[in-house]
Amino acid sequence: MQTKFSTKPRKDAVSEAETVRTAGGARDRTKRLTAMALLSAAAYILTLLSHSIPAVEGFLRYDPADIVIVVGGFLFGPLTALLISLVVSFMEFITISNTGVIGLVMNIISTAAFACAAAFIYKRRQTMPGAVMSLAAGVVAMTVMMLLWNYIITPLYMANVSRAQVTAMLIPIFLPFNLLKGTINAAVTLLLYKPLVTALRRARLISVTRGGAVLSEEAPRNPRQQFSKAMMIPAAIVLLTCALVLLAWAGVI
């Protein structure tokens, strides 16, 4: 008499495995949200402290919050960096900012350009040379975007300043300020990244392998789809920037 053994997995075993995966995914999402909340709070505190620093030309202010935001981007990706940028900029807008909606827009663009560009490159090359290269790219991206947006926005924000005067300020004032700001934040990020990651790991908010890779974020199921989603917002911002620069150059705005 021959006994037949079924090769199909038992339904209860499959259900149990699915439950374990779901619970693990929920824990990972909770840890990630907690880590993002802590990073957002730390970035906001740094923004509060930055308002005690004298502003250059009355409105150019150094903000160290970008350091914490780019660390969040290194850990969880460029979309997370963008989300933290939005949260911190909005909190500043409703509490201590005196530059209104224009200041909110400029803060978001400045921080997102630096942190998102750096995080986007670092996610593909998670080494020390990769970190240096990604931060350098973030500095360049922020500097270029702020030159363009100051050309667009400053005459609207400061009614007594013409666009010709703003154009004359781009190279001697805006360029060195943003390069210096970005370079300082990039250098401090290199110094603080490991201690911050260690603190989050000890708090059990992230998991790190011996090689330094962060495991708390779920791997994307479709890398190409994840890539396209990550590129949509920066591409839209670049297109909007180019369109507004052309309108400003033509004297429409």
Could you tell me if 229 and 79 are in contact, meaning their C-beta atoms sit under 8 angstroms apart?
A: yes
Angle 160-114-50 from CA coordinates, rounded to 5°: 60
Query: CA-to-CA distance for 77 and 224, rounded, in angstroms?
Result: 15
| Residue 176 covered by a domain | yes
- Mean pLDDT to the nearest integer, 173-201: 91
What was the pLDDT predicted at 212?
47
Amino acid at 73: G
Residues β-bridged to residue 208: 214
pLDDT in tens, 101-138: 988 999 999 999 999 999 999 988 888 899 999 999 99
pTM comes to: 0.80
- DSSP at 32: H
DSSP string, 183-239: HHHHHHHHHHHHHHHHHHHHTTSS-B-TT--B-SSPPPS-HHHHHHHHHHHHHHHHH
| Residue 179 covered by a domain | yes
Residue 85 domain boundaries: 28-249
70 pLDDT above the threshold of 60: yes
| Residue 165 covered by a domain | yes
Could you tell me if 80 and 36 are in contact, meaning their C-beta atoms sit under 8 angstroms apart?
A: yes
pLDDT in tens, 81-100: 999 999 999 999 999 988 88
Could you tell me if 35 and 200 are in contact, meaning their C-beta atoms sit under 8 angstroms apart?
A: yes
| Residue 142 covered by a domain | yes
Phi-psi region of 188 (alpha: psi -120 to 50; beta: other; left: phi over 0): alpha
| Residue 119 covered by a domain | yes
Q: Percentage of the chain surpassing pLDDT 70?
A: 79
Query: CA-to-CA distance for 117 and 133, rounded, in angstroms?
Result: 11
How many domains does the chain contain in total?
Answer: 1
| Residue 43 covered by a domain | yes
| Residue 5 covered by a domain | no
Angle 77-33-86 from CA coordinates, rounded to 5°: 65
| Residue 3 covered by a domain | no
Question: What CATH number does the domain containing 211 carry?
Answer: 1.10.1760.20
